[in-house]
Amino acid sequence: MPDWLTLHIVALILVAALFGGMLTFAALFAPLIHRKLPSDTAIGFTREVFPVYYRAMGILALVAVLPLVPAQAYWTEIAILVTVAVGFVFANLVLRPHVNKARDENRDGRFKLLHKVSVLLNLAQFVLVTIVLIRMAQ
């Protein structure tokens, strides 16, 4: 088996892990937090969980790039994964503090808008990761 094929498989597994992590968090974990925990507890818990989620998914996106570089054939996938990683950095360092501040200041309209932006960003990232996964699986 050529080295590039082995690296491709490693990258594919990493992208699949990214896909699975994002899907599990968005479809199961985040909704369960708000359905099963009292509001104050859920808010405090999500404030602790989201930075970890953003860092872990951002790092995983970048780690998935590493095995693709030697193949010199996956530049589109690399660009998409780097974009996804930058999105996680933006969400964690810029968007999340503004969402938290809006909630703390009881600015419901601003909170709802910023929360919607963060959900749409995560959805866009998920779509991009799905595209990479499909492209690499072919």
The 10s digit of each residue's pLDDT in 102-124 is: 999 999 999 999 999 999 999 99
Cα separations in angstroms, 28 against 32, 42, 110: 6, 14, 26
Residues near 92 by Cβ (< 8 Å), separated by ≥ 6? 50, 51, 54, 55, 58
Of 94, 99, 127, 131, which is closest to residue 113 (Cα–Cα)?
99
pLDDT, average across residues 84-100: 98
Question: Tens digit of pLDDT for each residue in 18-31?
Answer: 999 999 999 999 99
Residue 1 pLDDT > 80 = no
pLDDT, average across residues 64-87: 94
Of 19, 21, 45, which is closest to residue 32 (Cα–Cα)?
45
